[in-house]
Structure 1
Amino acid sequence: MKKIIRLIVGVILAGVFLWLIFRHLSLDEIKEAFSEANLSWIGLAVIVFFIGYACRIERWRLMLIQNNPALQWRQCAGPLMASVAANNVLPFRAGDVLRAFGFNRRLGINAATSFTTLFVERLLDLLMVVSFLGLALAYFGMESSAFIGVGAGFLLAAGAAILFLLLFPAFFKPFAYWLGRTISSFLPGLGKKMNDEFHKVFTALEHTSSGHTMPRLVLWSVLAWLAEGFVFWLTAMSLPSVANHLAAWLALPVGTLATVIPGTPGYVGTFDYFTAKAMTSLGNPAAASTAYAFLLHAVLWLPPTIAGGVYLLVNPIKKQEKTKALSP
């Protein structure tokens, strides 16, 4: 029931944000901006998109080889793209569930390792998004963000804190458990829940912070997000009506952060509204910014959905794989 309510809320919010986008614009203005799109720039953006995902696949492989050292990049590529495709078309983050439990047998890993990688990926991506937003605000002189109410300094400090946690989780572990015990003394239920979550967090981080693994994961994350930033920028370059192409580097973290808002599969409405808002905040016309947001959304949505869908059609998950994935 909670999931159904969340989906209904997401659909309503998507409708609200789409209404906010179109309430002062005509479809003719957006069509005109679309009609000027340069397909060469868009094609280049798609190529760079796949380069970025190649980096994400290598990052995932580095986490998985601690469980299966023989695992190769090509074995990880299909399952990761399939999970992205599933998230793009199915509700309730079905792609994450698919990646955590659906491919373990063919990858030669256990469910615990697969689930752990999802958590570490979220932290790495949060580090990148927060850092990119802080750098963008600093570069454009937007010390007080119109989107989340904090400035560049705070965001960069938060990014540094996340990076320190990723590299040195043992430093935070005693304090975290002390906090859990302290809260348990007057709120036993909350304290136990916090300690359980802390255990999951530090188990995951200790799994990936040993040796040189985490610095390599951070490096591949930087490369992946730089590639995604260039996808945003190249898409902006494809539209002559977009005056300030560099605004795409602000749209990258703002649009990405908008995806945490409950919404539909593929983040219809939420991603588009905040991406367009980031573009207009740096002087781009509203119609051009809206056309950019929708065109960018297609560039980010269509390639992984097709690639992941084809992989699942050619390599469907068999019944025995499902059985093993659901077994303890």
Structure 2
Amino acid sequence: MDLSIIVAKQKKAFRAYLLPFQIVVGVGLSGTLIWLMIKGLEWKELIHTLSAFPVHLFLLALAVFLIGIAARAMRWYVLLRGERISFTRLFLIQNAGIGLNNLSPVRLVSEPVQLAMVIRGGGVNSATALATLVIEHLMDVFAVGSILAVSMILIPELRGFSIQLGAVIILALITLLVLLAIAKGMDAVPGSNRIPFLKRALAAVKSVGNSPVNLFVSFLSTVTHWGLLSLSGWIIGYGLGIDIPVAAMIVLIMGGVFFVSIVPSAPGGIGTFHGAVVFTMGRLGIFGEPALIFAFIVHVILFVPSTLVAVFVLPREGIKLFGKLENKVADEKGEELS
């Protein structure tokens, strides 16, 4: 039997056991965190505070967030300059992938879906799409690390998170070195010239790396994205009478989003996102009902828009038949590799 067939069967068997395990662990973790957060709460006070939250501030925070995710799409759009794909199309693709990730108990579907939609529906070369998607995520880590480094200097309250922030900053520096290495040392990658698809992908990465203006604009778009997300959180905090600096909101928002992305949880990050935000707010001296209400409203703003985009966009793209779409993309890549 061919080795590739054996490996494929082993992977299939592994996934068959891993997926149910991840779902059980995710739901269990989410349930545990929810129980810990609601234990001892004054429900009347919680409901009263939530119902009294100003609607106009919610709408303002939502509008700021939507501008922020538009900036996130602009980050990718700038890297794809020269490709025949519109900003609106890319915005929908990016948020559809993120929205599907929100609905999935295993958060590993966003990038494959985005890649498939950009290649098949957007007319973008597969190597270029993959290269820009990788750089986009590297840019994200580098931008967040840079913002947090400056925030630690300017805001004394954040120094209590020195270990967490230090890890992100170190990761950002490593990311910068990777970006520089990618841009300057493509020919040094062993075997890159022997695989046509890899060769084209590396060439696409190098092409982006040789466009400093595009990289700079992409970086600014990333900083703008996180800044607006933090401003959106600050508006919600203001409506609840919570005084947290905008820069400190980056720690709250980033902590919740990153925690959901790395641990199993219920769909939508229910429980895990709230737990991460409530824990971080506790480190800032904010406990109980205000912390949980803040986490709840922020969660709605961060997760619902992209999820709605996924619900409306993906069926039109045939993603409800994702197995077939995935096979077609795999076949296209297989043809390029041969």
Same fold (TM over 0.5): yes
The within-5 A match list for 1:119-134 is 119-134=134-149
Q: Please say if residues 145 and 151 of structure 1, whose CA atoms lie closer than 8 Å, have aligned partners that are also in contact.
A: no
Aligned residue for 1:307? 309
Distance 1:111 1:175 in 2: 22
Pairwise CA distance, 1:292: 0.2
Which residue identity lines up with residue 179 of structure 2 in the other structure?
L
Partners of 2:237 and 2:294 within 8 A in 1: yes
Q: For residue 87 of structure 1, what is the amino acid of its counterpart?
A: N
Deviation, 1:279, is 2.1
Change (3 A) 1:202 1:89: same
1:66-109 Cα offsets, whole Å, 9 max, x none, are 6xx23221221221121122111123332322112244222112
More helix by share: 2
Q: RMSD between aligned alpha carbons?
A: 3.3
2:155 to 134, 140, 150: 140
CA distance in 1, matches of 2:269, 2:22: 13
| Partner in structure 1 of residue 276 of structure 2 | 274
Structure 1 residues 283 and 222: CA distance shift in structure 2, 3 A: same
State the secondary structure of the residue aligned to 1:149.
helix
Q: Secondary structure at the match of 2:31?
A: helix
Question: Partners of 1:63 and 1:51 in 2: how far apart?
Answer: 19
Letter aligned with residue 233 of structure 2? F
Residue 85 of structure 2 aligns with which residue? 71
Unaligned runs of 5+ in 1: 178-197
**Cα offset for 1:158?**
4.4
TM-score by length of 1: 0.78
- Structure 1 pair 139/278, CA: closer, same or farther in 2 (3 Å)? farther
Percent identity of paired positions between Structure 1 and Structure 2: 23
Residue of structure 2 in register with 1:187 after alignment: none
Give the deviation of 1:2 after TM superposition. 2.0
Corresponding residue for 2:265?
Answer: 263
With normalisation by structure 2, the TM-score equals 0.76
Structure 1 residues 110 and 245: CA distance shift in structure 2, 3 A = same
Equivalent residue, structure 2, for 1:284: 286
The change in CA–CA distance for 1:172 and 1:291 in structure 2 (over 3 A counts) is farther
> Counterparts of 1:216-255 in structure 2 under 5 Å?
216-240=217-241, 242-244=242-244, 246=246, 247-255=248-256
Q: Could you report, residue by residue, the CA deviation over 1:167-210 in whole angstroms, capped at 9, with x for unpaired residues?
A: 45356879998xxxxxxxxxxxxxxxxxxxx9999777535312
Tell me how far apart the structure 2 counterparts of residues 256 and 40 of structure 1 sit (CA, whole Å): 25
AA aligned opposite 1:18: I
**Change in 2 beyond 3 A, CA 1:165/1:310:** same
Deviations 1:143-174 (A, max 9, x none): 6545x73565x654543443343245356879
**Which residue of the partner structure matches residue 181 of structure 1?**
none
Going from structure 1 to structure 2, the CA distance change for 1:53 and 1:155 (only over 3 Å counts) comes to: closer
Q: Does 1:211 align with 2:211?
A: yes
Give the Å deviation of 1:52.
1.2
Does residue 23 of the first structure (1) align with residue 39 of the second (2)? yes
Shifted more, 286-295 versus 30-39: the winner is 30-39
1:54 aligns with 2:67: no
Aligned pair in 2 of structure 1 residues 307, 26: CA closer, same or farther (>3 Å)? Answer: same
Aligned to 1:117: 132
Q: Is the 8 A contact 1:101 1:114 kept in 2?
A: no
1:326 corresponds to 2:330? yes
8 Å Cα contact 1:120-1:204 kept in structure 2: no
Which whole-Å CA distance do the structure 2 matches of 1:205 and 1:263 have between them? Answer: 33
CA distance in 1, matches of 2:22, 2:204: 28
What is the one-letter code of the residue matched to 1:224? H
Select 1:8's aligned residue among 24, 28, 31. 24
Q: Report if the CA contact (8 A) 2:139-2:222 is conserved.
A: yes
Q: In the alignment, is the contact (CA less than 8 A) between 1:243 and 1:283 conserved in 2?
A: no
Tell me the SS of whatever aligns to 2:284: coil
Q: Give the Cα separation in 1 of the matches to 2:45 and 2:163.
A: 31
- Shift in Å, 1:275: 1.0
User: Contact 1:80/1:99 (CA < 8 Å) preserved in 2?
Assistant: yes
Residue aligned with 1:37, SS? coil
What runs of 5+ residues in structure 2 fail to find an aligned partner? 1-16, 191-197
**How far off its partner does 1:272 sit?**
0.9
Counterpart Cα distance in 1 of 2:30 and 2:289: 19
- Residues 1:104 and 2:119 are matched in the alignment: yes
